[in-house]
A and B are shown apart, each in its own frame.
Chain A
Amino acid sequence: MKDNAERTRIPFWRNIKVVPYLYIMPNMILFFVFMIIPIFMSFYYSTVKWNGMGKPKFIDIQNYLYIFHDKVFLKSIFNTFYYTVATVPLLMVLALLIAILLNSKIPLRGIIRSAIYVPAVVSTVVVGTVFTWIFQDQLGLINYIITSLGGTAIKWANDPRFAMIMLIIATVWQRTGYNMVIYLAGLQGIPTDLMEAATIDGANTWQKFRFVTLPLLKNTHMFVMITCMINAFRSFDLVYTMTQGGPLNATKTIVMYVYEQAFNKNYYGRAAAAGVVLFVFMVVLTIIRFKIEKED
């Protein structure tokens, strides 16, 4: 009896049954209001015609039919894959190569590692701004190097053939260091006695790399690959800063298409539909990721 009475006297915010809910509440409210509910709302908006004013009008799957007949949207899917397929292997190979080289005892190792990592802490907007300047057609450094080697200047940001290559170069410059750090952590995890055993067995450097290092880094490869792919799929800042999706839609990615439909053209329904398509791509990537993690 007394025990019961005492328990009722504890204010609810001290009750051990209530406390955890109070602790997760701020996070959960924000997640629900700004992430979970908006996802469901996106599905709703993808079925309406709405320009931001007045009442949305229900038009079933018309938005989806429109975007899948829109050459620009199809191009944006292609561009997103192009950007992903180009950046992910480049980042993986370069990051792994530099990580392996930096894993040996060389002078200035710490400083060199930090220097290669620094681009990763800089904002993508600044990266975009600096690379716009370096790749500028008339005064840029890259064109100066090309012309002084006897080549003809390239109109990087204004040439549909080269704009995407410029974005890829900027991305590789920015993200190699980050992935290198992850590979370095993976390399630390390889037991040294395995390497010694391989040396005793007469394996040369290449064989050790091919048959010991590379397979043992399987988990790291997967992690780096998936994070690079996710980042590539949602990369927005660089495109927005450097090319805004141009020239002639050559660098328009799905995220850029969504942004443009919503905030430049006020086709909120079409933007939401394109967002849902992007969502499906992300869900597929996520499922692949969990499948891979389960297998290990």
Chain B
Amino acid sequence: MDTSGRMGMDKRKYMLMKTVIFIFVFAAALIALFPFYWMFVTAVKPVDEIWAFPPKLWPSEFIWSNFTTALQRAPFGLYFRNSFIVTLTSTTITVCINLLAGFAFAKYNFKFKEFFFLIVLSTLMIPLQVTMIPVFIIASKLGIRNTLWGVIIPPCAEALGLFMARQFISDIPNELLEAGRIDGATEFTIFRKIILPNVKPLISVLVIFTVMWRWNDLQWPLIMLSSDKYYTVQLGLSNLNGAQYVNWNDMMAASLISVLPVVIVFLIFQKEFVQGVASSGIKG
């Protein structure tokens, strides 16, 4: 009887602990989500309620047209178009060249391989501010400054994706490649017909990470662009945030729209995403 009483105590203690843990993490999740809610509420509020103090936690009516006016007012429509072009083009380029280079580093032996790999490694931690001025000058000389190409091309080579590609491709057994060679396949056919079909998870992780990074990037557009017809969403938002008079309806509406593509990509590819982040941690 004594033991069963203790068991009961333990169980109650256990339930209490679970409840406390649940309340704590649930609160953390609410804090994480609250700014999104606030973005939404501010975006759809009538203008006069923006200026109301105390702030209204729930708008008296939903002005859905705030989203369309925001897109028209500042040239956000144009900024979104530019961001789409930059993201799609640069993701395509980055994923292709990272797969090729990752393949070369994983499966070939060649002279200066270690040297080239060291070069890749050394680029990992260099902040853009260190190389900013020369990059600006080089881009001017190449005639790509103040064009979308100037935003797209320079950061296309990127070490982290290359590491992931090398890591993943080295797990493909060499026998598969040798079998291909015996059948008379060229090296590029081996890449196309043997490597690519075997690295689909790698490709999705690379695509997701590159899309996120390029869509969210501020620094390259900021350095490369001077005329606002080429501005990306992030650059447009950032400049408007510093303005004297800020129209919070528009700002929050545009922010929310700009967040949608990445949040949707995240929700669809959650598993790949978390695995990608986690494996970068284990690797390091």
User: Which residues of A does B touch, CB under 8 Å?
Assistant: 13-14, 16-17, 19-21, 23-24, 26-39, 41-42, 45, 98, 101-102, 104, 106-108, 111-112, 114-119, 121-134, 138-141, 144, 148, 173, 176-178, 181-182, 184-186, 189, 220, 223-224, 226-227, 230, 233-234, 236-237, 240-242, 244, 254-255, 258-259, 262-263, 268, 271-272, 275-276, 278-279, 282, 285-286, 293
Contact = CB atoms under 8 A, between A and B. Distances in A.
Contact of A106 (B22, B125, B223, B270): B22
A35 B131 contact: yes
Contact of A259 (B18, B132, B262): B132
Given A98-B28, A123-B216, A126-B237, 16 more contacts: A24-B116, A27-B101, A28-B119, A30-B156, A37-B138, A101-B21, A116-B32, A117-B32, A122-B216, A123-B217, A126-B234, A182-B278, A236-B218, A236-B219, A237-B219, A282-B125
Given A26-B97, A173-B32, A181 B278 contact: yes
A44 B141 CA distance: 17
Given A101-B24, A130-B255, A123 B215 contact: yes
A240 B222 contact: yes
A279 B130 contact: yes
Contacts of B123: 31, 35-36
A184 B259 CA distance: 25
B94 to A, nearest CB: 9
Interface of B: 18, 21-22, 24-26, 28-29, 31-33, 35-36, 38-39, 42, 50-51, 53-55, 97-98, 100-101, 103-105, 108, 110, 113, 116, 119-120, 122-123, 125-138, 153-157, 162, 186-188, 191, 212, 215-219, 222-223, 234, 237-238, 241-242, 246, 248, 251-252, 255, 258-259, 262-263, 265-267, 270, 273-274, 277-282, 284
A241 B255 CA distance: 13
Given A17-B110, A227-B284, A236-B129, A118 B237 contact: no
Contacts of A24: 100-101, 104-105, 116
A101 B18 CA distance: 9
B116 A28 contact: yes
Nearest to B248: A133
B234 A125 contact: yes
A144 B56 CA distance: 11
Given A28-B116, A123-B218, A258-B132, A101 B262 contact: no
A121 B119 contact: no
Contacts of B129: 234, 236, 254-255, 258-259, 275, 278
Given A185-B281, A230-B125, A30 B153 contact: yes
Given A42-B131, A106-B18, A123-B216, A139 B51 contact: yes
A271 B130 CA distance: 9
Contacts of A21: 104, 110
14 contacts: A19-B188, A23-B101, A30-B156, A31-B123, A101-B21, A106-B22, A115-B33, A125-B238, A127-B35, A133-B248, A141-B38, A176-B32, A189-B282, A241-B237
A148 to B, nearest CB: 7
Closest 3 CB pairs of A and B: A185-B278, A123-B216, A30-B157
Given A21-B110, A24-B104, A223 B284 contact: yes
Given A24-B100, A227-B284, A129 B255 contact: yes
Given A30-B153, A259-B129, A38 B218 contact: no
The secondary-structure label for the interface of chain B is helix
A121 B39 contact: no
Contact of B251 (A106, A121, A129, A189): A129
Contacts, number: 284
B187 A19 contact: yes
Nearest to A179: B281
Contacts of A23: 100-101, 103-104, 108, 191
B133 A39 contact: no
Contacts of B218: 123-125, 236-237, 240-241
Given A23-B100, A129-B241, A186-B281, A34 B266 contact: no
The secondary-structure label for the interface of chain A is helix
Contacts of B255: 126, 129-130
B187 A244 contact: no
A114 B137 CA distance: 42
Residue among A19, A28, A178 with the highest chain B CB neighbour number at 10 A? A19
A263 B267 CA distance: 38
Given A36-B123, A102-B25, A178 B252 contact: no
B235 to A, nearest CB: 8
B222 A275 contact: no
Given A34-B157, A106-B21, A39 B130 contact: yes
B12 to A, nearest CB: 16
A23 B217 CA distance: 27
Given A125-B218, A139-B53, A279-B126, A133 B251 contact: yes
A232 B50 CA distance: 33
A235 B263 CA distance: 22
